[in-house]
Amino acid sequence: MLWGGRFKYGLDNNALKFSSSLSVDINLILEDIEGSKAHAAMLAGVKIISRHESEQITKGLRTIEQEWKDGKWNPDAEKFEDVHSAIESRLFELIGDTAGKLHTGRSRNDQIATDILLWIRKRCFLIQDSIKNLQIILLKISSCHINTLMPGYTHMQRAQPVSLAFHLMAYVEMLERDKNRFEQIYNSNNQSPLGSGALAGSTLPIDREFTARELGFNKPTENALDSVSNRDFILDYLHACSVGMMHLSRLSEEIVLWSTSEWNFIKLADSYSTGSSLMPQKKNPDLAELIRGKSGRAFGNYISLASALKSLPLSYNRDLQEDKAPLFDSSFSYEDSLELMASMLSTAEFNSGRFREEMQGDFSLATDLADWLVLKGVPFRQAHGVVGKLVQKLEMEKRNFKDVTVDELKKISPVFDESAVECLDINNSLNRKKTYGSPNPVLVQKRIEELLKKLV
């Protein structure tokens, strides 16, 4: 134990098992060693320990790091409270009593805050790379489907024609925002808590600027009390994971729908589908469903930590030990989901001609027809009503726009002429779009090229 001096008896075995966080915070072993190396170098720099002692400690830490990577050392969760005590115990075995000097001027409170912050900052880069990879896959698929027609929906009712490229590009833009969130998390958490001690700094001449630089931070944190109790950066990270998982969940829902016989719009590879234990014909989009399901865990992890933090007085409380399980769960789930979504989409096949004939003549071009009237000087509200009456008439007659003649249009409004019928041709619908950000193929192609140039 790192704290047993004033205690007559050791911690009860069941109490140790209940309180041990080693099985979770072992994920921080490399960051803990990294922080300890910087701390040892700083202690030597301010002459609290000798240069030789610092080198001994650093060599021992490197040995532990290699032993861990090689699978030769794996601390027992029933023996140690956390990763810090496990490393210190192993360091004593390797270098003797000099190991006891490493914790000089440092508490587990500032140590763990530093470890988590280092881990999150590294993870931000890894996740950004995974997001970028998924974006590139979506862009490449989109480049092949700029003219692949599909219905655009509002309220899950067919609204206006779009292209598959335009639809997928909406997710590319979502992913761009997701990527930016992790960039912001990295940039806004650039201060090192190391050297804050338990809550009030140290009487020793600790050089916090040195350790901050060594660990890649811009500067030390300003207030030791806040430094050891702050978990806002974990909440920020969990929020970014939650929003990212929500976006993947929305895309997963669409993949599930598109893969049904009713939609017949996407065919997933066998490698990313499962069958049924009872029904031989089944091919299920289970990976998409699992991604969709894991989004709920990500939301729950955010609430879990926010609930733990909401009533904590300053500074450190043991409740904060519960910050790491939700952090790792959300991060690993999100990283896995990004990778699997990328693989699933890159191996999928889209039915390019699925909707073209079906949409020819349906009512999804009603707004285009109303816009045609507006360009002829008809007020939009009046044009809306005219086209609405036309749709009502055709529905009653169980007909659609494909069957409409110019004479019928003129009976609805004398403004209509031969060119109005051209508005009802689904093959020209996307090219007629004028506004920036619309599914006009020229605009979509340009945006794809812009993003590929930026990302690749």
Residue range 381-408, pLDDT digits in tens: 999 999 999 999 999 999 999 889 999 9
- Residue ending a domain, choose from 354, 379, 400: 354
* 133 and 94 Cβ atoms separated by less than 8 Å: no
* 68 and 83 Cβ atoms separated by less than 8 Å: no
In the block, tokens 């000099």 appear at 98
Is residue 428 domain-shared with residue 331, that is, in the same domain?
Answer: no
Which pLDDT score is estimated for 12?
73
Is 213 inside a domain boundary? Answer: no
Percent of all residues in the chain with a pLDDT value above 70, rounded to a whole number? 97
Strands (DSSP E) found in 170-255: 191-192, 219-220
State the angle between helix axes of 286-309 and 324-346 in degrees (0 to 180), rounded to the nearest 10. Answer: 160
26-30, 216-220, 357-361: which has the minimum mean pLDDT?
A: 357-361
Is residue 97 domain-shared with residue 137, that is, in the same domain?
Answer: no
* 302 and 326 Cβ atoms separated by less than 8 Å: yes
Kind and range of the H or E element at 266? Answer: strand 266-267
- Residue ending a domain, choose from 76, 104, 132: 104
Is residue 116 domain-shared with residue 143, that is, in the same domain?
Answer: yes
Euclidean distance between CA atoms 123 and 120, whole angstroms:
5
Partner residues linked to 163 by β-bridges: 149
pLDDT (tens digit per residue) in 76-124: 988 899 999 999 999 999 999 999 999 999 999 999 999 999 999 999 9
Which pLDDT score is estimated for 11?
66
CATH number of residue 95's parent domain: 1.10.275.10
Contact residues for 372 (Cβ-Cβ < 8 A; gap 6+)? 419, 420, 423
Residues labelled catalytic: 155, 276
**Mean pLDDT value across the chain:** 95
Is residue 344 domain-shared with residue 362, that is, in the same domain?
Answer: no
Cis ω on the peptide bond leading into residue 252 (within 30° of 0)?
no
Contact residues for 73 (Cβ-Cβ < 8 A; gap 6+)? 64, 67, 90
- Residue ending a domain, choose from 104, 126, 150: 104
Mean pLDDT to the nearest integer, 60-71: 98
Is residue 314 domain-shared with residue 408, that is, in the same domain?
Answer: no
Could you tell me which of 257, 256, 293 has the C-alpha nearest to residue 272? 256
Task: Provide the number of structural domains found in the chain.
Answer: 3
Which pLDDT score is estimated for 2?
55
Euclidean distance between CA atoms 192 and 222, whole angstroms:
9
Is residue 322 domain-shared with residue 394, that is, in the same domain?
Answer: no
Token pair for 122:
């590294």
Domain that holds residue 448: 357-455
Is residue 341 domain-shared with residue 377, that is, in the same domain?
Answer: no
* 31 and 18 Cβ atoms separated by less than 8 Å: no
**Binning pLDDT at 50, 70 and 90, where does residue 6 land?**
low
Euclidean distance between CA atoms 207 and 190, whole angstroms:
17
Is residue 84 domain-shared with residue 117, that is, in the same domain?
Answer: no
